[in-house]
Amino acid sequence: MNFDEAQQLERSYLLTLYTPIRMPMVIARGEGARLWDTEGKEYLDFVSGGRAVTGLGHCHPKVAAAIRHQADTLLHVSNDFYTEPQLRLGERLSKLFGGRSFFCNSGAEAVEGAIKLARKHGYKTSGPEKHEIVTALSSFHGRTFAALAATGQPKYHKGFQPLPPGFSYIPFNDVEALRAAVTERTCAVLLEPILGESGVYPATPEFLGAAREACDENGAAFVLDEVQTGLGRTGKMFAYQHYDVEPDVIALAKALGGGVPIGAVVAREPVASAFEPGDHASTFGGGPLPAAAALAALDAIEEEGLVENAARVGEQLAQGLRAIQEKTSLVSEVRGRGLMIGVDLARPVAGRVKEQCAARGLLINTVGERMLRLLPPLVLSEEQAERGLGVLGEVLGSAATE
């Protein structure tokens, strides 16, 4: 299938949701940090499958073997039954974060689950008044209704109101606004430790510290959305570990299944105990296939030292980008942590830069027309990082003189 055929089929048979963001190729195959399209062209994937999912690279052998084995053994039974992969995955996440898990199928569902848990905790400790949730402007938490209400970007709300009530938004990294917004009616503060979709803006230590303090003072749950930042991407297993804070709840998804859809709410006490039997559920959540894939993904992250690799190669990329910045005034800022990097451009040419990188075999992401976003897989080698930097240097250099 070529790109024209794909576009025709999409127009006829798919709801029109992704058309403007589709890249001009049809992807057929992947291995590690590389993808191939149906014409046989090879790409270096600096977006981990597009949205920071394939942290282990494409078709990691350990994940693929676990999926094959599980497919031959037991694909699915629901949560009416115990299955070992789900229980072992809960044990594994508890060793990494503490607490206990609920499994679902996506990032938005993990955020929904965390919101319901925080609401129930507020209800149990203080009654129905304690239901307000404070989130950040420019945040992104997903597209289902409560996750959408939590997302502090009016452009995503438009046309879908009324949204679930009880959400308020503060400017990201504004400590005073946060202190003023959190009251005894607040059941949760929900934040990304690094704004992802809005362009890789890390929280300041003061902001996350103030959020923890305000939650403690008001009996609210401190919830971190680590859907994009979690599981090694930032050079630590969880992004909050760059800070001197401990959340009560984290939401995980994206990289958790090594490419297979799975999300998790991981909650510590006392918040974890707010859920009682029947309060929340998912038919597919934590089924044997995604749970086995996630266990294999966590094995690979740990056994292959991928968190450390993300820190090392991320630093190499950031330094290389700063070297490019010194040579061209088109790059105005480079920021991020580990393999989550934002590059601000002085002129609105991000779309063109992305196209020209793809033509040279490098896939990158953009945020609006003035920002590039790099989210390569944690398995990225130093040689691949150099290759990507070479393409970016050429493309940004020539875009600067156009």
Indicate which residues carry an active-site annotation: 140, 225, 254
Residue facing ligand PLP at closest CB distance: 107
Stretch in the footprint of ligand PLP (CB under 6 A) among 6-14, 25-33, 222-230, 344-352 = 222-230
Quote the DSSP letter at residue 254.
G
Stretch in the footprint of ligand PLP (CB under 6 A) among 26-34, 134-142, 155-163, 204-212 = 134-142
CA distance 194 to 229: 7
Q: Is residue 197 near ligand PLP by the rule CB under 6 A?
A: yes
Q: In the range 246-305, which residues lie near ligand PLP by CB under 6 A?
A: 253
CA distance 247 to 149: 21
CA distance 214 to 182: 6
- Please give the structure tokens belonging to residue 125: 């400790």
Q: Which of 51, 88, 100, 157 binds ligand PLP (CB under 6 A)?
A: 51
> Is there a contact between 68 and 75 (Cβ–Cβ < 8 Å)?
no
> Is there a contact between 179 and 215 (Cβ–Cβ < 8 Å)?
no
- Please give the structure tokens belonging to residue 245: 């804070």
Q: Is residue 136 near ligand PLP by the rule CB under 6 A?
A: no
CA distance 12 to 14: 6
What minimum distance in Å lies between the beta carbon of 253 and ligand PLP? 5
Stretch in the footprint of ligand PLP (CB under 6 A) among 16-24, 189-197, 282-290, 301-309 = 189-197
> 228 or 309: whose CB is closer to ligand PLP?
228
Q: Which of 132, 192, 248, 344 binds ligand PLP (CB under 6 A)?
A: 192
CA distance 229 to 191: 12
What minimum distance in Å lies between the beta carbon of 140 and ligand PLP? 5
What minimum distance in Å lies between the beta carbon of 106 and ligand PLP? 4
Q: Which of 228, 309, 366, 384 binds ligand PLP (CB under 6 A)?
A: 228
The residue with tokens 């779309």 is: 351
Q: In the range 71-110, which residues lie near ligand PLP by CB under 6 A?
A: 106-108
> Is there a contact between 338 and 306 (Cβ–Cβ < 8 Å)?
no
Residues 317-356: x/- map of binding to ligand PLP (CB under 6 A)? ----------------------------------------
Question: CA quadruple 242, 243, 248, 249: dihedral positive or negative?
Answer: negative
- Strands 249-252, 221-225: parallel, antiparallel or unpaired by DSSP? parallel
> 151 or 218: whose CB is closer to ligand PLP?
151
CA nearest to 85, candidates 96, 97, 74, 100: 74
Quote the DSSP letter at residue 253.
-
Residues near ligand PLP (CB under 6 A):
51, 106-108, 111, 140-142, 192, 196-197, 225, 227-228, 253
